[in-house]
Structure 1
């Protein structure tokens, strides 16, 4: 299995293989199991459905995966491993809820949190030498900045965590770049259909994975069996979805860059996420209110295209007021473009 491509792993990993076994891991809606087997109680050991999902994600990222009830629950589990007073670094532009949870921990006196500009690698290297944990996002949410993961990881004295939700292991594998833990909101691209809440961590070694699993057990942030099954089914098609969505995103980014109403386009060169800026919040709000095919909604990574002006959210005050985050779906590129043009140019 180690010599298979990521596209093949997404299809093959985490499947039953024995004679007479089903092709797909079934939904096992059990909380308790008979004594003497691999499973005893779901909160402690999981279920066969969880384990299949974890095996598949772990194979793609090259580590040991643990599923959680949501992406934010993965953050809570990682922080649970830190002592009181630990020093944490996080990008100024990153998922607002991540920064919100860290800010709350700092207010309670649990952590010391430092925010750094994502692309100021020199500042990250300096802070990494002091930090107990550096929490990286690349590309960042919602500004699509690319961070120097390997350089920062090499300078870090503590642990390195990378939120790989936007890129996925099909674009980058942070564990090979020096990260200790990778986290995903599987709600997004992994699930791919905007119909579940799920998170997953992938640790570089088994001992660290065991610590994360123990943290999951302590706080009870266990995934639902149906959600794990849906996420596993979504994972199977992620390579083909991401390939098509990325091609459309690149096309739209190029066209948006040439449109006179657009002041800036942010696209990291791969992936299905892009952002573009309009002169002010009013212009951005008009686009959100005018699109017909693209939905004005939060979240990302589904088969449908979503757009959102991020600066309206609490914790996103530093985001340019006219910035629109655009999650590119699987619709026909020309239909998406015509929808954007009509919204940008008005009646």
Structure 2
């Protein structure tokens, strides 16, 4: 498997093998197992369905993977091993729920939280935090962080949210990170029909910390959700390739539109953002699109827009910024929809 490309691993890893075995891992809906086998109790040992998903994602990221009930549940697992009073660094512009959870822990006196500009690499290296929570690209401003330089220079544990890039574009563990997390709700699942998180570690001791945290906290995935995420993973490469083509086209056209003051795109992926003059103009566009849906979340086959500054904790995001999750619709249909809404 080591000589397979990520595209092949996404399809081939985590499948049963042997005469009479099913081609696809089935949904194993049980909480407990008869004694004497590899599985004893699902909360602590998982199931064959979880194991197949974890094997596949672990093969893509280059570490041991564990599935959780949601993306935010992975945050709880990562933070579980931190002693009270630990310092955590997080990007100023990043997923609002992540920063909200960290700020809540700070209010309770459990952690000290430092927010740093995503692209100020030296500030990250010098921050002295016990845990550095990176996002690259960031949500929703789509800044790209220098993961390798930060991981090499920082003293603390480096965790990277790889949801936007996916392991098809970057494998943070190979760049020196200690843990990678995904909201598999998004691109890995790919169909806006599940909640699931994944954490991956390259070091066995760190991996056991994550597994132990999942057992203690009980943030285990559902059988159907794990199966759906694995099925979604199988088509990630073809979905992402088409979504990227469309994103690049829309970004180039949005950049030329007189109503658009700024376009944000990291040069890869299916996430983009564009800014209008003010919140009123952005709200009007979100209310006027017909094919594109105005909704939160991202990474599905359907295109979504959202003015992020309306959300609690996103007050620093430019008021007129619209996050665009590009789906699999015909690019020209999407452009006509945006053009009419902008007009």
Answer whether TM exceeds 0.5 for this pair: yes
Q: Which of 328, 333, 339 is matched with 1:341 structurally?
A: 339
Q: Deviations over 1:88-139 (max 9, x none)?
A: 1000000000000000010111111100011111211211xx1110000000
- 1:99 corresponds in structure 2 to 99
Looking at structure 1, the residues matched to 110 and 285 of structure 2 have their Cα atoms a distance apart, in angstroms, of 42
Report what 1:226 is aligned to. 224
Give the aligned partner of residue 201 of structure 2. Answer: 203
Counterpart CA distance in 1 for 2:139 and 2:24 is 34
Q: Which residue is 2:41 aligned to? A: 41
Give 3-state SS (helix, strand or coil) of 1:217's partner: helix
What do residues 162-191 of structure 1 show as CA deviations (whole Å, max 9, x unaligned)?
000000000100001110000000000000
TM-score, L = length of structure 1: 0.98
Query: What's the counterpart of residue 109 of structure 2?
Result: 109
CA distance in 1 between partners of 2:205 and 2:19 (Å): 32
Q: Which runs of 4+ in 1 moved over 4 A?
A: none
Which residue is equivalent to 2:66? 66
1:126 aligns with 126
Distance in 1 (CA, whole Å) between partners of 2:58 and 2:18 is 21
Match of 1:27 in 2: 27
Give runs of aligned pairs for residues 156-305 of structure 1, distance below 5 A: 156-305=154-303
Helix, strand or coil for the counterpart of 2:235?
Answer: helix
Determine helix, strand or coil for the equivalent of 1:301.
coil
Number of aligned positions between the proteins: 343
Deviation at 1:65, TM superposition (A): 0.0
CA RMSD of aligned residues (A): 0.5
Post-superposition offset of 1:140: 0.1
CA distance in 2, matches of 1:57, 1:294: 30
**What residue is the counterpart of 1:318 in the other structure?**
316
The answer for the alignment partner of 2:133 in structure 1 is 135
User: 2:189, 2:98 → 1: CA distance?
Assistant: 20
Please list every run of 5 or more consecutive structure 2 residues that lacks an aligned counterpart in the other structure: none
Structure 2 CA distance, aligned partners of 1:151 and 1:208? 21
TM-score (structure 2 length as normaliser): 0.99
* Equivalent residue, structure 2, for 1:327: 325
- In structure 1, what is the Cα distance between the partners aligned to 2:10 and 2:252? 30
Using the alignment, how far apart are the partners of 2:196 and 2:267 within structure 1? 27
Residue-by-residue CA offset, 1:248-285 (whole Å, 9 max, x unaligned):
00111011001100000000000000000000000000
Alignment partners' CA distance in 1, 2:109 and 2:160: 24
Q: CA deviation at 1:74?
A: 0.2
Query: Tell me, which stretches of 5 or more residues in structure 1 are unaligned?
Result: none
